[in-house]
Structure 1
Amino acid sequence: MQSARFMNRRGFLGSTLGGLAGLALAGVAQAQSGPVIKIAASRNAAAPVWNLANVSERFGFRVEMSVLFTYAEQARAAQTGQTSSATCGIDTMATVADQGIPNLRYIAADQYGGQNLVMRAGVEAATWSGLEGKTIGVVPGTWARVLFLIAAKEGGADIGKIKLTNVSVGATAQEALRRGNVDGVVLFTPQCDQLVAAGIGHYPPKLDIGASSLGSANSGLLATTELLSDKPLATNFMRAYLASMQEVQDVAVFTRLVTNLTG
Protein backbone atom coordinates (compact mmCIF):
# COMPACT_ATOMS: atom_id res chain seq x y z
CA MET A 1 0.00 0.00 0.00
CA GLN A 2 1.28 3.42 -0.87
CA SER A 3 1.81 5.64 2.17
CA ALA A 4 -0.41 8.65 2.75
CA ARG A 5 0.80 11.67 4.74
CA PHE A 6 -1.85 13.81 6.28
CA MET A 7 -1.08 17.51 6.03
CA ASN A 8 -2.49 18.59 3.32
CA ARG A 9 -9.07 15.08 -4.92
CA ARG A 10 -13.58 17.36 -10.71
CA GLY A 11 -15.51 18.61 -13.01
CA PHE A 12 -16.95 21.04 -10.55
CA LEU A 13 -20.15 22.87 -11.40
CA GLY A 14 -21.43 20.46 -14.00
CA SER A 15 -23.06 18.16 -11.44
CA THR A 16 -26.74 18.28 -10.64
CA LEU A 17 -28.44 18.84 -7.32
CA GLY A 18 -29.93 15.35 -7.33
CA GLY A 19 -27.42 13.99 -4.85
CA LEU A 20 -28.20 16.76 -2.39
CA ALA A 21 -31.80 15.91 -1.69
CA GLY A 22 -31.05 14.37 1.68
CA LEU A 23 -29.18 17.35 3.06
CA ALA A 24 -30.62 19.90 5.45
CA LEU A 25 -30.88 23.50 4.27
CA ALA A 26 -28.55 25.23 6.69
CA GLY A 27 -24.81 24.67 6.72
CA VAL A 28 -24.37 25.80 10.32
CA ALA A 29 -27.17 24.78 12.66
CA GLN A 30 -27.66 25.22 16.37
CA ALA A 31 -28.09 22.42 18.87
CA GLN A 32 -28.41 22.37 22.65
CA SER A 33 -24.72 21.53 22.89
CA GLY A 34 -23.70 24.37 20.58
CA PRO A 35 -23.33 24.97 16.84
CA VAL A 36 -23.29 22.10 14.36
CA ILE A 37 -21.03 22.37 11.32
CA LYS A 38 -22.12 20.29 8.35
CA ILE A 39 -19.40 18.94 6.08
CA ALA A 40 -19.82 17.27 2.70
CA ALA A 41 -17.37 14.44 2.01
CA SER A 42 -17.15 10.97 0.53
CA ARG A 43 -16.14 7.89 2.45
CA ASN A 44 -13.13 7.29 0.22
CA ALA A 45 -10.61 9.45 1.99
CA ALA A 46 -10.35 12.66 4.04
CA ALA A 47 -9.49 10.90 7.29
CA PRO A 48 -8.72 14.16 9.17
CA VAL A 49 -12.15 15.48 8.14
CA TRP A 50 -14.07 12.37 9.18
CA ASN A 51 -12.19 12.25 12.47
CA LEU A 52 -13.46 15.74 13.33
CA ALA A 53 -16.58 14.12 14.78
CA ASN A 54 -14.38 12.55 17.44
CA VAL A 55 -12.69 15.78 18.54
CA SER A 56 -15.03 18.68 17.71
CA GLU A 57 -16.96 18.78 20.99
CA ARG A 58 -13.73 19.59 22.79
CA PHE A 59 -13.73 22.82 20.78
CA GLY A 60 -17.35 23.82 21.37
CA PHE A 61 -19.19 22.50 18.30
CA ARG A 62 -20.44 19.30 16.71
CA VAL A 63 -19.99 17.92 13.22
CA GLU A 64 -22.53 16.33 10.90
CA MET A 65 -21.22 14.59 7.80
CA SER A 66 -23.16 14.60 4.53
CA VAL A 67 -21.98 11.72 2.35
CA LEU A 68 -21.59 12.74 -1.29
CA PHE A 69 -19.37 10.79 -3.67
CA THR A 70 -17.79 13.36 -5.97
CA TYR A 71 -15.94 16.56 -5.21
CA ALA A 72 -18.34 18.34 -7.56
CA GLU A 73 -21.34 17.33 -5.45
CA GLN A 74 -19.52 18.22 -2.25
CA ALA A 75 -18.52 21.68 -3.46
CA ARG A 76 -22.02 22.31 -4.79
CA ALA A 77 -23.44 21.47 -1.36
CA ALA A 78 -21.26 24.13 0.24
CA GLN A 79 -21.87 26.63 -2.57
CA THR A 80 -25.64 26.36 -2.15
CA GLY A 81 -25.51 26.63 1.66
CA GLN A 82 -26.56 23.08 2.39
CA THR A 83 -23.28 22.50 4.16
CA SER A 84 -20.74 24.97 5.41
CA SER A 85 -17.66 22.99 4.48
CA ALA A 86 -16.61 20.34 1.96
CA THR A 87 -13.63 18.35 0.86
CA CYS A 88 -12.35 19.26 -2.58
CA GLY A 89 -9.80 18.43 -5.23
CA ILE A 90 -6.55 20.29 -5.68
CA ASP A 91 -7.91 21.81 -8.87
CA THR A 92 -11.31 22.80 -7.45
CA MET A 93 -10.39 26.34 -6.52
CA ALA A 94 -9.25 27.05 -10.08
CA THR A 95 -12.79 26.17 -11.18
CA VAL A 96 -14.27 28.28 -8.39
CA ALA A 97 -12.24 31.27 -9.57
CA ASP A 98 -13.03 30.60 -13.23
CA GLN A 99 -16.77 30.42 -12.50
CA GLY A 100 -16.72 33.50 -10.27
CA ILE A 101 -18.23 31.73 -7.25
CA PRO A 102 -18.04 34.27 -4.42
CA ASN A 103 -18.83 32.26 -1.28
CA LEU A 104 -16.23 29.46 -1.17
CA ARG A 105 -12.71 29.64 0.24
CA TYR A 106 -9.91 27.06 0.33
CA ILE A 107 -8.92 26.89 3.99
CA ALA A 108 -6.73 23.83 4.50
CA ALA A 109 -4.88 21.00 2.85
CA ASP A 110 -6.21 17.55 3.59
CA GLN A 111 -3.88 14.80 2.47
CA TYR A 112 -1.02 13.73 0.26
CA GLY A 113 -0.61 10.52 -1.72
CA GLY A 114 -3.33 7.90 -1.79
CA GLN A 115 -3.56 7.81 -5.62
CA ASN A 116 -1.45 5.92 -8.08
CA LEU A 117 -1.03 3.66 -11.08
CA VAL A 118 -1.88 -0.03 -10.56
CA MET A 119 -0.65 -2.49 -13.19
CA ARG A 120 -2.45 -5.79 -13.81
CA ALA A 121 -0.84 -8.81 -12.18
CA GLY A 122 1.74 -10.20 -14.58
CA VAL A 123 2.14 -6.92 -16.50
CA GLU A 124 5.37 -5.08 -15.76
CA ALA A 125 6.61 -1.59 -16.57
CA ALA A 126 10.00 -0.51 -15.28
CA THR A 127 9.97 2.92 -16.95
CA TRP A 128 7.32 5.41 -18.01
CA SER A 129 8.17 4.76 -21.64
CA GLY A 130 7.39 1.11 -20.92
CA LEU A 131 3.71 2.13 -20.82
CA GLU A 132 3.77 3.04 -24.51
CA GLY A 133 1.48 0.66 -26.40
CA LYS A 134 -0.28 -0.39 -23.20
CA THR A 135 -3.91 0.41 -22.31
CA ILE A 136 -4.38 2.39 -19.09
CA GLY A 137 -7.77 3.05 -17.51
CA VAL A 138 -8.33 6.53 -16.12
CA VAL A 139 -11.28 8.20 -14.40
CA PRO A 140 -12.26 11.34 -16.37
CA GLY A 141 -11.91 14.68 -14.58
CA THR A 142 -9.84 13.41 -11.68
CA TRP A 143 -6.64 14.91 -10.35
CA ALA A 144 -5.11 11.42 -10.37
CA ARG A 145 -5.48 11.40 -14.18
CA VAL A 146 -3.72 14.78 -14.40
CA LEU A 147 -0.86 13.61 -12.19
CA PHE A 148 -0.48 10.43 -14.24
CA LEU A 149 -0.19 12.31 -17.52
CA ILE A 150 2.31 14.83 -16.12
CA ALA A 151 4.40 12.11 -14.46
CA ALA A 152 4.46 9.99 -17.63
CA LYS A 153 5.46 12.94 -19.82
CA GLU A 154 8.14 14.13 -17.40
CA GLY A 155 9.37 10.55 -17.12
CA GLY A 156 10.10 10.38 -20.83
CA ALA A 157 7.01 8.63 -22.17
CA ASP A 158 5.29 9.68 -25.38
CA ILE A 159 1.82 9.99 -23.86
CA GLY A 160 0.30 9.92 -27.33
CA LYS A 161 1.44 6.29 -27.52
CA ILE A 162 -0.26 5.31 -24.23
CA LYS A 163 -3.77 4.06 -24.94
CA LEU A 164 -6.06 5.80 -22.46
CA THR A 165 -9.55 4.47 -21.83
CA ASN A 166 -12.14 5.84 -19.44
CA VAL A 167 -13.25 3.72 -16.49
CA SER A 168 -15.44 4.47 -13.51
CA VAL A 169 -14.43 4.00 -9.90
CA GLY A 170 -15.15 0.66 -8.25
CA ALA A 171 -16.40 -2.52 -9.91
CA THR A 172 -15.92 -1.27 -13.49
CA ALA A 173 -12.22 -0.57 -13.03
CA GLN A 174 -11.73 -3.77 -11.07
CA GLU A 175 -13.39 -5.92 -13.73
CA ALA A 176 -11.54 -4.18 -16.53
CA LEU A 177 -8.25 -5.00 -14.84
CA ARG A 178 -9.28 -8.54 -13.89
CA ARG A 179 -10.47 -9.40 -17.43
CA GLY A 180 -7.42 -7.93 -19.08
CA ASN A 181 -9.32 -5.15 -20.85
CA VAL A 182 -6.69 -2.76 -19.52
CA ASP A 183 -3.07 -3.21 -18.57
CA GLY A 184 -3.32 -0.78 -15.69
CA VAL A 185 -5.59 1.73 -13.99
CA VAL A 186 -5.03 5.07 -12.28
CA LEU A 187 -7.12 5.23 -9.12
CA PHE A 188 -7.19 6.58 -5.60
CA THR A 189 -7.46 4.99 -2.20
CA PRO A 190 -9.09 2.73 -1.13
CA GLN A 191 -9.86 1.41 -4.62
CA CYS A 192 -6.24 1.19 -5.76
CA ASP A 193 -5.21 -0.48 -2.50
CA GLN A 194 -8.07 -2.99 -2.76
CA LEU A 195 -6.86 -4.06 -6.20
CA VAL A 196 -3.38 -4.69 -4.84
CA ALA A 197 -4.61 -6.42 -1.69
CA ALA A 198 -6.81 -8.73 -3.79
CA GLY A 199 -3.85 -9.71 -5.96
CA ILE A 200 -5.48 -8.30 -9.11
CA GLY A 201 -2.77 -5.71 -9.59
CA HIS A 202 0.46 -4.31 -8.21
CA TYR A 203 2.16 -0.97 -7.80
CA PRO A 204 5.06 -0.63 -10.28
CA PRO A 205 7.89 0.32 -7.91
CA LYS A 206 9.52 2.90 -10.19
CA LEU A 207 6.34 4.59 -11.47
CA ASP A 208 4.92 6.91 -8.82
CA ILE A 209 2.55 9.57 -10.14
CA GLY A 210 3.18 11.59 -6.99
CA ALA A 211 6.80 12.01 -7.99
CA SER A 212 5.85 14.46 -10.74
CA SER A 213 6.73 18.15 -10.53
CA LEU A 214 3.16 18.80 -9.31
CA GLY A 215 3.83 16.79 -6.17
CA SER A 216 1.52 14.28 -4.50
CA ALA A 217 -1.06 16.66 -3.01
CA ASN A 218 -4.44 14.95 -3.11
CA SER A 219 -7.22 17.05 -1.64
CA GLY A 220 -8.18 20.03 0.49
CA LEU A 221 -10.96 21.58 2.54
CA LEU A 222 -13.42 24.31 1.56
CA ALA A 223 -15.43 26.59 3.83
CA THR A 224 -18.19 29.04 3.08
CA THR A 225 -17.79 32.75 3.70
CA GLU A 226 -20.76 32.45 6.07
CA LEU A 227 -18.85 30.05 8.29
CA LEU A 228 -15.70 32.15 8.11
CA SER A 229 -17.61 35.29 9.10
CA ASP A 230 -18.14 33.72 12.52
CA LYS A 231 -14.58 34.25 13.68
CA PRO A 232 -14.72 32.32 16.99
CA LEU A 233 -16.42 29.33 15.36
CA ALA A 234 -14.08 29.37 12.35
CA THR A 235 -11.05 29.53 14.64
CA ASN A 236 -12.30 26.61 16.73
CA PHE A 237 -13.05 24.70 13.53
CA MET A 238 -9.43 25.02 12.44
CA ARG A 239 -8.11 24.21 15.91
CA ALA A 240 -10.21 21.03 15.88
CA TYR A 241 -9.00 20.20 12.38
CA LEU A 242 -5.37 20.43 13.46
CA ALA A 243 -6.10 18.24 16.49
CA SER A 244 -7.85 15.71 14.24
CA MET A 245 -4.91 15.73 11.84
CA GLN A 246 -2.57 14.94 14.71
CA GLU A 247 -4.76 12.05 15.87
CA VAL A 248 -4.97 10.30 12.51
CA GLN A 249 -1.20 10.19 12.24
CA ASP A 250 -1.47 7.43 14.84
CA VAL A 251 -1.60 4.24 12.75
CA ALA A 252 -4.08 2.54 15.09
CA VAL A 253 -6.46 5.53 15.02
CA PHE A 254 -6.19 5.85 11.26
CA THR A 255 -6.76 2.12 10.67
CA ARG A 256 -9.81 2.03 12.94
CA LEU A 257 -11.32 5.13 11.34
CA VAL A 258 -10.81 4.02 7.73
CA THR A 259 -12.03 0.50 8.47
CA ASN A 260 -15.22 1.90 9.95
CA LEU A 261 -15.74 4.18 6.96
CA THR A 262 -14.92 1.87 4.08
CA GLY A 263 -15.29 -1.62 5.52
Structure 2
Amino acid sequence: MRNLSNAFAIAAVSAGLIATPAITAHAEEPAPLESETTLTVGYQKVGHLAPLQLVQEMLDPLNVEIEMVEFSRYADTRTALLAGSLDIATVGPADLPIALAQGSDAVYGIMGVGSSAKYPVVRNGVEMESWDDLAGKKVGIAPGSAVWFQFAATLIENDIPYDSFEAVNIQGGGAAFDQALQRGDVDAIITWEPFESIPVLEGYGHFATNLDYSTSESVGDELGMMVASKDALEEKRDAVVRFVWAYLAAQQALADDAEAFAEAYAAHTGLDLELSKQASKAITLGSVVTPEQAAAQAKAFAELGVIQEDVSGEIPDHWDETIVEEAKSY
Protein backbone atom coordinates (compact mmCIF):
# COMPACT_ATOMS: atom_id res chain seq x y z
CA MET A 1 0.00 0.00 0.00
CA ARG A 2 1.43 3.37 -0.96
CA ASN A 3 1.70 5.85 1.90
CA LEU A 4 -0.58 8.84 2.38
CA SER A 5 1.92 11.47 1.23
CA ASN A 6 2.47 9.61 -2.04
CA ALA A 7 -1.25 9.12 -2.53
CA PHE A 8 -1.84 12.81 -1.88
CA ALA A 9 0.82 13.72 -4.44
CA ILE A 10 -0.78 11.54 -7.10
CA ALA A 11 -4.20 13.01 -6.30
CA ALA A 12 -2.69 16.49 -6.53
CA VAL A 13 -1.33 15.69 -9.98
CA SER A 14 -4.71 14.41 -11.07
CA ALA A 15 -6.44 17.50 -9.68
CA GLY A 16 -4.08 19.81 -11.48
CA LEU A 17 -2.36 21.12 -8.33
CA ILE A 18 0.95 19.92 -9.73
CA ALA A 19 1.63 20.71 -13.37
CA THR A 20 2.09 17.35 -15.07
CA PRO A 21 4.96 17.79 -17.53
CA ALA A 22 5.17 15.92 -20.80
CA ILE A 23 6.98 12.65 -20.14
CA THR A 24 8.97 12.31 -23.34
CA ALA A 25 12.26 10.87 -22.11
CA HIS A 26 11.47 7.47 -23.66
CA ALA A 27 9.50 6.73 -26.83
CA GLU A 28 8.23 3.42 -25.49
CA GLU A 29 7.42 2.07 -22.07
CA PRO A 30 8.32 -1.36 -20.69
CA ALA A 31 5.78 -4.15 -20.86
CA PRO A 32 3.68 -4.65 -17.71
CA LEU A 33 4.80 -7.33 -15.30
CA GLU A 34 2.72 -10.49 -15.33
CA SER A 35 1.76 -10.00 -11.69
CA GLU A 36 1.79 -6.99 -9.40
CA THR A 37 5.09 -6.41 -7.62
CA THR A 38 5.59 -4.05 -4.70
CA LEU A 39 8.83 -2.17 -4.15
CA THR A 40 9.48 -0.58 -0.76
CA VAL A 41 11.36 2.68 -1.32
CA GLY A 42 13.07 4.68 1.42
CA TYR A 43 13.36 8.38 0.71
CA GLN A 44 13.80 11.85 2.20
CA LYS A 45 11.78 15.04 1.70
CA VAL A 46 14.51 16.87 -0.19
CA GLY A 47 14.05 18.78 -3.41
CA HIS A 48 16.31 16.78 -5.69
CA LEU A 49 14.05 13.77 -5.14
CA ALA A 50 10.97 15.61 -6.41
CA PRO A 51 10.69 13.23 -9.42
CA LEU A 52 9.33 10.67 -6.98
CA GLN A 53 6.08 12.63 -7.08
CA LEU A 54 5.43 11.42 -10.63
CA VAL A 55 6.74 7.87 -10.50
CA GLN A 56 3.75 5.89 -9.19
CA GLU A 57 1.41 7.27 -11.84
CA MET A 58 3.82 6.02 -14.51
CA LEU A 59 4.19 2.62 -12.85
CA ASP A 60 0.46 1.90 -12.48
CA PRO A 61 0.11 0.48 -16.02
CA LEU A 62 3.26 -1.61 -15.52
CA ASN A 63 1.92 -3.55 -12.54
CA VAL A 64 4.48 -2.07 -10.15
CA GLU A 65 3.40 -0.61 -6.82
CA ILE A 66 5.76 1.47 -4.69
CA GLU A 67 5.41 1.75 -0.94
CA MET A 68 7.13 4.95 0.16
CA VAL A 69 8.82 5.12 3.57
CA GLU A 70 10.09 8.52 4.72
CA PHE A 71 13.37 8.96 6.61
CA SER A 72 14.88 12.21 7.86
CA ARG A 73 18.51 11.17 7.32
CA TYR A 74 20.41 9.26 4.66
CA ALA A 75 22.06 7.20 7.40
CA ASP A 76 18.70 5.95 8.66
CA THR A 77 17.69 4.94 5.14
CA ARG A 78 20.94 3.03 4.71
CA THR A 79 20.38 1.23 8.02
CA ALA A 80 16.87 0.20 6.98
CA LEU A 81 18.10 -1.11 3.64
CA LEU A 82 20.82 -3.16 5.32
CA ALA A 83 18.24 -4.54 7.75
CA GLY A 84 16.19 -5.83 4.83
CA SER A 85 13.29 -3.40 5.27
CA LEU A 86 13.73 -1.64 1.91
CA ASP A 87 14.20 -2.66 -1.71
CA ILE A 88 15.43 0.73 -2.93
CA ALA A 89 16.80 3.67 -0.97
CA THR A 90 18.00 7.21 -1.63
CA VAL A 91 21.23 7.78 0.27
CA GLY A 92 24.32 9.95 0.27
CA PRO A 93 27.44 9.20 -1.79
CA ALA A 94 29.23 8.04 1.37
CA ASP A 95 26.66 5.45 2.33
CA LEU A 96 27.78 2.79 -0.13
CA PRO A 97 31.39 2.73 1.15
CA ILE A 98 30.16 2.96 4.74
CA ALA A 99 28.00 -0.12 4.19
CA LEU A 100 30.89 -2.00 2.59
CA ALA A 101 33.26 -1.00 5.39
CA GLN A 102 30.74 -2.43 7.86
CA GLY A 103 31.06 -5.76 6.10
CA SER A 104 27.73 -5.68 4.29
CA ASP A 105 27.34 -7.31 0.90
CA ALA A 106 23.67 -6.31 0.60
CA VAL A 107 23.75 -2.89 -1.08
CA TYR A 108 24.44 -1.95 -4.70
CA GLY A 109 24.74 1.49 -6.26
CA ILE A 110 22.48 2.24 -9.22
CA MET A 111 22.77 5.93 -10.09
CA GLY A 112 23.08 9.47 -8.83
CA VAL A 113 20.09 11.79 -8.64
CA GLY A 114 21.20 15.41 -8.87
CA SER A 115 23.91 17.99 -8.32
CA SER A 116 24.37 21.60 -7.28
CA ALA A 117 26.93 24.10 -6.12
CA LYS A 118 27.20 24.16 -2.32
CA TYR A 119 27.96 27.23 -0.23
CA PRO A 120 28.07 27.83 3.52
CA VAL A 121 25.06 29.84 4.65
CA VAL A 122 26.41 32.71 6.76
CA ARG A 123 24.55 34.77 9.33
CA ASN A 124 23.99 38.34 8.23
CA GLY A 125 26.56 40.62 9.81
CA VAL A 126 29.30 37.99 9.51
CA GLU A 127 31.72 38.18 6.59
CA MET A 128 33.12 35.06 4.96
CA GLU A 129 34.82 35.98 1.69
CA SER A 130 37.63 33.40 1.69
CA TRP A 131 38.48 30.08 3.29
CA ASP A 132 40.78 31.95 5.68
CA ASP A 133 37.71 33.73 7.07
CA LEU A 134 36.60 30.43 8.61
CA ALA A 135 39.20 30.97 11.33
CA GLY A 136 37.58 31.38 14.72
CA LYS A 137 34.03 31.05 13.39
CA LYS A 138 31.35 28.74 14.80
CA VAL A 139 30.13 26.50 11.98
CA GLY A 140 27.09 24.25 12.36
CA ILE A 141 27.64 20.81 10.85
CA ALA A 142 25.99 17.40 10.72
CA PRO A 143 28.99 15.08 11.17
CA GLY A 144 28.93 12.11 8.82
CA SER A 145 26.31 13.68 6.56
CA ALA A 146 26.67 13.92 2.80
CA VAL A 147 27.20 17.68 2.95
CA TRP A 148 29.78 17.30 5.71
CA PHE A 149 31.79 14.93 3.51
CA GLN A 150 31.72 17.51 0.71
CA PHE A 151 32.78 20.29 3.08
CA ALA A 152 35.55 18.34 4.83
CA ALA A 153 37.03 17.07 1.56
CA THR A 154 37.10 20.60 0.13
CA LEU A 155 38.90 21.90 3.22
CA ILE A 156 41.56 19.22 2.90
CA GLU A 157 42.14 20.00 -0.77
CA ASN A 158 42.42 23.71 0.05
CA ASP A 159 44.85 23.10 2.96
CA ILE A 160 42.44 24.58 5.50
CA PRO A 161 42.99 23.06 8.97
CA TYR A 162 39.76 21.56 10.26
CA ASP A 163 40.56 22.90 13.73
CA SER A 164 40.87 26.47 12.50
CA PHE A 165 37.16 26.96 13.26
CA GLU A 166 34.78 25.65 15.90
CA ALA A 167 32.63 22.85 14.50
CA VAL A 168 29.26 22.80 16.26
CA ASN A 169 27.45 19.48 15.92
CA ILE A 170 23.73 20.02 15.34
CA GLN A 171 21.32 17.15 15.80
CA GLY A 172 18.01 16.70 14.02
CA GLY A 173 16.77 17.88 10.66
CA GLY A 174 17.66 20.92 8.61
CA ALA A 175 15.26 23.20 10.51
CA ALA A 176 17.52 22.93 13.57
CA PHE A 177 20.38 24.41 11.54
CA ASP A 178 18.30 27.40 10.49
CA GLN A 179 17.14 27.97 14.06
CA ALA A 180 20.73 27.92 15.33
CA LEU A 181 21.79 30.42 12.68
CA GLN A 182 18.84 32.72 13.37
CA ARG A 183 19.49 32.67 17.13
CA GLY A 184 23.14 33.51 16.59
CA ASP A 185 24.37 30.23 18.10
CA VAL A 186 26.56 29.75 15.02
CA ASP A 187 28.10 32.02 12.41
CA ALA A 188 27.49 29.69 9.47
CA ILE A 189 25.85 26.39 8.66
CA ILE A 190 26.71 23.52 6.34
CA THR A 191 23.31 22.13 5.41
CA TRP A 192 21.10 21.14 2.51
CA GLU A 193 18.15 22.46 0.54
CA PRO A 194 15.59 23.72 1.21
CA PHE A 195 17.17 24.73 4.50
CA GLU A 196 19.96 26.60 2.72
CA SER A 197 17.56 28.96 0.97
CA ILE A 198 15.28 29.64 3.94
CA PRO A 199 17.71 31.97 5.85
CA VAL A 200 18.45 33.84 2.61
CA LEU A 201 14.80 34.32 1.69
CA GLU A 202 13.82 35.20 5.25
CA GLY A 203 16.60 37.75 5.52
CA TYR A 204 18.87 36.49 8.28
CA GLY A 205 21.53 34.70 6.21
CA HIS A 206 23.41 34.81 2.93
CA PHE A 207 25.37 32.43 0.73
CA ALA A 208 29.17 32.63 0.91
CA THR A 209 29.42 32.23 -2.85
CA ASN A 210 33.22 32.40 -2.88
CA LEU A 211 33.36 29.17 -0.88
CA ASP A 212 31.89 26.49 -3.12
CA TYR A 213 32.46 23.18 -1.36
CA SER A 214 31.04 21.04 -4.15
CA THR A 215 34.25 21.27 -6.15
CA SER A 216 36.51 18.75 -4.44
CA GLU A 217 38.02 16.14 -6.74
CA SER A 218 37.30 13.34 -4.30
CA VAL A 219 33.63 14.02 -3.55
CA GLY A 220 32.25 16.46 -6.12
CA ASP A 221 28.77 17.95 -6.42
CA GLU A 222 26.47 14.89 -6.37
CA LEU A 223 23.57 15.45 -3.94
CA GLY A 224 22.68 11.81 -3.42
CA MET A 225 22.34 8.44 -5.05
CA MET A 226 19.93 5.57 -5.57
CA VAL A 227 20.87 2.15 -4.21
CA ALA A 228 19.10 -1.19 -4.14
CA SER A 229 19.32 -4.26 -1.95
CA LYS A 230 20.95 -7.40 -3.28
CA ASP A 231 17.70 -9.29 -2.71
CA ALA A 232 15.69 -6.77 -4.73
CA LEU A 233 18.11 -7.00 -7.65
CA GLU A 234 17.92 -10.78 -7.59
CA GLU A 235 14.22 -11.27 -6.86
CA LYS A 236 12.52 -8.11 -8.21
CA ARG A 237 14.93 -7.02 -10.92
CA ASP A 238 12.26 -6.39 -13.56
CA ALA A 239 10.34 -4.18 -11.14
CA VAL A 240 13.51 -2.28 -10.19
CA VAL A 241 14.26 -1.63 -13.87
CA ARG A 242 10.75 -0.28 -14.37
CA PHE A 243 11.06 1.93 -11.30
CA VAL A 244 14.32 3.38 -12.64
CA TRP A 245 12.73 3.82 -16.08
CA ALA A 246 9.91 5.83 -14.53
CA TYR A 247 12.24 7.84 -12.32
CA LEU A 248 14.53 8.76 -15.21
CA ALA A 249 11.55 9.82 -17.33
CA ALA A 250 10.10 11.92 -14.51
CA GLN A 251 13.51 13.39 -13.77
CA GLN A 252 14.00 14.46 -17.39
CA ALA A 253 10.52 15.94 -17.58
CA LEU A 254 11.10 18.09 -14.49
CA ALA A 255 14.57 19.07 -15.69
CA ASP A 256 12.94 20.37 -18.87
CA ASP A 257 10.18 22.31 -17.09
CA ALA A 258 11.26 24.67 -14.30
CA GLU A 259 7.69 25.44 -13.23
CA ALA A 260 6.75 21.78 -12.96
CA PHE A 261 9.96 21.10 -11.03
CA ALA A 262 9.17 23.85 -8.54
CA GLU A 263 5.62 22.54 -8.06
CA ALA A 264 6.80 18.95 -7.62
CA TYR A 265 9.46 20.25 -5.22
CA ALA A 266 6.76 21.99 -3.15
CA ALA A 267 4.55 18.89 -3.15
CA HIS A 268 7.44 16.62 -2.17
CA THR A 269 8.86 18.79 0.62
CA GLY A 270 5.67 20.48 1.85
CA LEU A 271 7.25 23.89 1.37
CA ASP A 272 5.69 27.08 0.11
CA LEU A 273 5.72 27.28 -3.69
CA GLU A 274 7.65 30.56 -3.80
CA LEU A 275 10.40 29.11 -1.60
CA SER A 276 10.41 25.98 -3.74
CA LYS A 277 10.85 28.06 -6.89
CA GLN A 278 13.96 29.68 -5.43
CA ALA A 279 15.43 26.50 -3.95
CA SER A 280 14.89 24.45 -7.11
CA LYS A 281 16.94 26.88 -9.19
CA ALA A 282 20.12 25.66 -7.52
CA ILE A 283 19.59 22.01 -8.43
CA THR A 284 20.46 20.18 -11.64
CA LEU A 285 18.53 16.93 -11.87
CA GLY A 286 20.43 13.94 -13.23
CA SER A 287 23.33 11.80 -12.14
CA VAL A 288 26.92 13.01 -12.23
CA VAL A 289 28.39 10.24 -10.09
CA THR A 290 30.09 7.22 -11.68
CA PRO A 291 31.55 4.04 -10.16
CA GLU A 292 34.99 5.62 -10.59
CA GLN A 293 33.91 8.75 -8.70
CA ALA A 294 32.28 6.62 -6.02
CA ALA A 295 35.55 4.73 -5.60
CA ALA A 296 37.44 8.02 -5.29
CA GLN A 297 34.97 9.09 -2.63
CA ALA A 298 35.45 5.83 -0.74
CA LYS A 299 39.21 6.37 -0.70
CA ALA A 300 38.79 9.94 0.52
CA PHE A 301 36.41 8.88 3.29
CA ALA A 302 38.98 6.39 4.54
CA GLU A 303 41.67 9.08 4.49
CA LEU A 304 39.34 11.36 6.47
CA GLY A 305 39.07 8.61 9.07
CA VAL A 306 35.29 8.43 8.76
CA ILE A 307 35.39 4.79 7.71
CA GLN A 308 37.96 2.41 9.08
CA GLU A 309 39.17 0.85 5.85
CA ASP A 310 39.61 1.77 2.23
CA VAL A 311 36.91 -0.12 0.31
CA SER A 312 37.38 1.75 -2.96
CA GLY A 313 38.43 -1.49 -4.67
CA GLU A 314 35.05 -3.05 -3.80
CA ILE A 315 32.93 -0.33 -5.39
CA PRO A 316 32.96 -1.71 -8.97
CA ASP A 317 31.59 -5.04 -7.73
CA HIS A 318 28.79 -3.24 -5.86
CA TRP A 319 27.60 -0.92 -8.60
CA ASP A 320 25.10 -2.29 -11.11
CA GLU A 321 25.22 -0.05 -14.17
CA THR A 322 23.06 -2.49 -16.15
CA ILE A 323 19.89 -1.36 -14.36
CA VAL A 324 20.11 2.15 -15.83
CA GLU A 325 21.29 0.80 -19.18
CA GLU A 326 18.29 -1.50 -19.41
CA ALA A 327 15.90 1.24 -18.26
CA LYS A 328 17.24 3.56 -20.95
CA SER A 329 16.86 0.91 -23.66
CA TYR A 330 13.09 1.33 -23.93
Question: TM-score range, shorter-chain basis?
Answer: 0.7 to 0.9
Three-state SS of the structure 1 residue aligned to 2:261 is helix
Count matched residues. 233
Q: Percent identity?
A: 25
Structure with the larger strand share: 1
1:43 corresponds in structure 2 to: 45
Task: Say whether residues 1:117 and 2:130 are aligned partners.
Answer: no
TM-score where L is the length of structure 2 = 0.65
Alpha carbons of 1:181 and 1:231: their partners in 2 closer, same or farther (altered >3 Å)? closer
SS of the residue 2:56 aligns to = helix
What residue number does 1:251 align with?
258
SS at match of 2:186: coil
Q: Tell me how large the CA RMSD over aligned residues is.
A: 2.2
User: Shift of the alpha carbon at 1:198?
Assistant: 1.1
TM normalised by structure 1 equals 0.80
2:34–2:63 contact (8 Å) kept in structure 1: no
Counterpart amino acid of 1:57? D
Matched ranges for 1:91-106 at <5 A: 91-106=94-109
Q: In structure 2, what residue type is equivalent to 1:94? A: P
In the TM superposition, residue 33 of structure 1 has moved relative to its aligned partner by 7.8
Rate the CA distance shift 1:100–1:157 in 2: closer, same or farther, 3 A: closer
Partner SS state of residue 97, structure 2 = helix
Q: State how far apart, in whole Å, the 2-side matches of 1:88 and 1:194 are.
A: 23
For residue 147 of structure 1, report the CA deviation from its aligned partner: 1.5
- The residue aligned with 1:4 is none
Q: Does residue 61 in structure 1 map to residue 74 in structure 2?
A: no
Unaligned runs of 5+ in 1: 1-30
> Are the aligned partners of 1:42 and 1:68 in contact in 2 as well (CA < 8 Å)?
yes
Range with bigger deviation, 240-249 or 114-123: 114-123
Q: What is residue 173 of structure 1 aligned with on the other side?
A: 177
CA–CA separation in structure 1 for the residues paired with 2:192 and 2:118: 4
Rounded to whole Å, the distance in 1 between the matches of 2:108 and 2:176 is 34
Corresponding residue number in structure 2 for 1:186: 190
* 1:144 aligned onto 2:144: no
Cα distance per residue 1:169-221 (max 9 Å; x no partner): 33432232112221100000111111211112110121111122221112101
Structure 2: 5+ residue stretches without partners: 1-32, 272-330
Distance 1:101 1:51 in 2: 32
The alignment partner of 1:234 has SS state of helix
Q: 1:159 to 1:79 in 2, by over 3 A?
A: closer
Relative to 1, partners in 2 of residues 1:175 and 1:232: Cα closer, same or farther, differing over 3 Å?
closer
Asked if 1:196 corresponds to 2:207, the answer is: no
In the TM superposition, what whole-angstrom CA distance separates every residue of 1:120-144 from its partner, at most 9, and x where no partner exists? 0121211111111211111121121
How far off its partner does 1:112 sit? 1.3
Residues 132 and 157, structure 1, Cα contact 8 Å, conserved in 2: no
